[in-house]
């Protein structure tokens, strides 16, 4: 008669072990950003997850059990403290330049993402979407794995002449493992003195201006030169983020991200470059961007002439 309680006790332990394994699996998938519901992996009696609180996006949990540890190793997840990513945010920036890479990089395990600006007041992007900075320049971590600058138009022009922001980028750009940008954000890196002697790209309408900042313009979607990684216009931020994922984790992890977000671009018209769009459409956009292009050029020439004198 004594065996029955022991059997029940053993069965309870086995059930608990299975529950923990499922929880560990759910945590791993969640950290990887895979679009699976943890509720489908846990017993219905498991408590609901708490809503996230404001602050840096964090993908870090306690050390997993051996099966999860093996998966971490297979997908290149590093050991040690979470890696730190600082993404500059600023008024009138291009929203997609930030949101695309942020979505991808926030899905990397053991990663803290900081949206950095002079203060933590809400700001408005070029399309009216509000962004809430999570960290100020003064509180930004010094041990950055990635420093990223998104682009814009009027917002970018303001940054090219913003000494506080340029000093912040110059400081952290010296020590960050990777210094990156999307679209016209590379002009800002150039103004901060971080692209001199490097190959780089930008939005096609201002790519040639990188030469004014001492860089070598390259007409490619993503350009890496040592630890400088620059993306072309707007949507290239997704390509840049996947490239970063392969560097920070491994190719298998990056492939999993592509599949998870079903990143399989198939634009209806294949008009995403001047060559594909043709002279008429390209000329129309050049005319629209002409005031921005001329202002950016004037700022660059003014700054480079002053530094030369």
Q: What is the residue-level pLDDT of the chain in tens, covering all 309 positions?
A: 444 445 555 554 444 444 444 444 444 445 545 433 333 333 333 344 444 444 555 444 444 455 556 778 899 999 899 999 999 999 999 999 999 999 999 999 899 999 999 999 999 999 999 999 999 999 999 999 999 999 999 999 999 999 999 999 999 999 999 999 999 999 999 999 999 999 999 999 999 999 999 999 999 999 999 999 999 999 999 999 999 999 999 999 999 999 999 999 999 999 999 999 999 999 999 999 999 999 999 999 998 877 776
Q: How far apart are CA 244 and CA 288, in angstroms?
A: 32
| C-beta of residue 231 within 8 angstroms of C-beta of residue 239 | yes
- Across 243-264, b (16+ Cβ under 10 Å) vs e yields bbbebbbbeebbebbeebbeee
> Residue 221, class by beta-carbon neighbours within 10 Å (0-12 exposed, 13-18 middle, 19+ buried)?
middle
Question: Looking at residue 304, what is its pLDDT?
Answer: 80
Q: In whole angstroms, how far apart are CA 250 and each of 77, 83, 174? A: 8, 15, 25
Question: Looking at residue 201, what is its pLDDT?
Answer: 99
Question: Looking at residue 23, what is its pLDDT?
Answer: 43
Question: Looking at residue 70, what is its pLDDT?
Answer: 73
| C-beta of residue 207 within 8 angstroms of C-beta of residue 177 | no
pTM above 0.85, yes or no: no
> Residue 214, class by beta-carbon neighbours within 10 Å (0-12 exposed, 13-18 middle, 19+ buried)?
middle
* pLDDT one-digit tens code per residue, 188-221: 999 999 999 999 999 999 999 999 999 999 999 9
Decide if 183 is catalytic: yes
- Closest listed residue to residue 158, CA positions, set 101, 219, 242, 91: 91
Fold of 78-265+279-308: Rossmann fold (3.40.50)
Candidates 131, 183, 254, 257; catalytic one = 183
Q: How far apart are CA 149 and CA 88, in angstroms?
A: 5
| Radius of gyration, alpha carbons of the chain | 23
- Closest listed residue to residue 117, CA positions, set 99, 104, 136, 101: 136
């Amino acid at each position: 008669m004594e065996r029955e309680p022991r059997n029940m006790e053993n069965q309870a332990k086995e059930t608990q072990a299975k529950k923990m394994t499922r929880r560990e699996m759910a945590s791993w998938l969640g950290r990887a950003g895979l679009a699976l519901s943890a509720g489908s992996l846990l017993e219905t009696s498991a408590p609901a997850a708490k809503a996230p609180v404001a602050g840096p996006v964090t993908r870090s949990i306690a050390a997993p059990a051996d099966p999860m540890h093996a998966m971490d190793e297979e997908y290149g997840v590093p050991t040690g403290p979470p890696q730190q990513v600082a993404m500059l945010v600023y008024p009138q920036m291009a929203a997609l330049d930030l949101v695309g890479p942020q979505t991808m990089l926030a899905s990397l395990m053991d990663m803290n993402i900081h949206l950095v600006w002079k203060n933590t007041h809400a700001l408005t992007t070029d399309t009216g979407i509000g962004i809430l900075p999570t960290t100020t320049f003064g509180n930004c971590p010094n041990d950055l794995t990635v420093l990223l600058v998104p682009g814009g138009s009027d917002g970018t022009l303001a940054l090219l002449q913003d000494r506080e922001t340029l000093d912040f980028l110059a400081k952290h750009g010296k020590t960050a493992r990777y210094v990156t940008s999307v679209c016209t954000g590379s002009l800002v890196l150039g103004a901060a003195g971080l692209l001199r002697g490097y190959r780089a790209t930008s939005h096609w309408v201002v790519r040639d201006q990188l030469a004014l900042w001492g860089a070598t313009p390259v007409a490619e979607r993503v350009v890496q030169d040592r630890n400088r990684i620059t993306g072309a216009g707007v949507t290239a931020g997704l390509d840049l983020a996947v490239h970063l994922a392969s560097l920070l984790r491994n190719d298998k992890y990056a492939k999993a991200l592509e599949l998870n977000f079903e990143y399989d671009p198939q634009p209806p018209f294949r008009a995403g470059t001047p060559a594909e769009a043709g002279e008429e459409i390209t000329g129309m956009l050049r005319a629209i961007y002409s005031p921005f292009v001329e202002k950016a050029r004037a700022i660059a020439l003014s700054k480079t002439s002053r530094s030369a004198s």
